Amino acid sequence: MLSKWTYYQFTAIIFLGLLLFFTDQLSGELAISSGTETVNGTSLLTAGFIAAIVGWVYVMVYLQSKKKPALLNHAVWSKMPALLFIIGFLSIVAFLTLGTFGPLLEWTENARWLMYVFMVYFIFLFYLFVVSVILKNSKLKKHALHRSLYVTGGLLIIVIFML
Confidence of residue 54 (pLDDT cuts 50, 70, 90): very high
pTM comes to 0.84
Residue ranges making up the domain that contains 121: 4-162
In the chain, % of residues over pLDDT 90: 41
pLDDT over 70 (residue 37): no
The total of structural domains in the chain comes to: 1
pLDDT digits (tens, 9 = 90+) for 83-116: 999 999 999 999 999 988 888 888 888 888 888 8
Question: Quick one: three-class SS letters along the chain?
Answer: CCCHHHHHHHHHHHHHHHHHHHHHHCCCCCEEEECCEEEEHHHHHHHHHHHHHHHHHHHHHHHHHHHCCCHHHCHHHHCHHHHHHHHHHHHHHHHHHHHHCCCHHHHHHHCCHHHHHHHHHHHHHHHHHHHHHHHHHCCCHHHHHHHHHHHHHHHHHHHHHHC
The mean predicted confidence, pLDDT, of the chain is: 85
Q: What is the mean pLDDT of residues 123-147?
A: 89
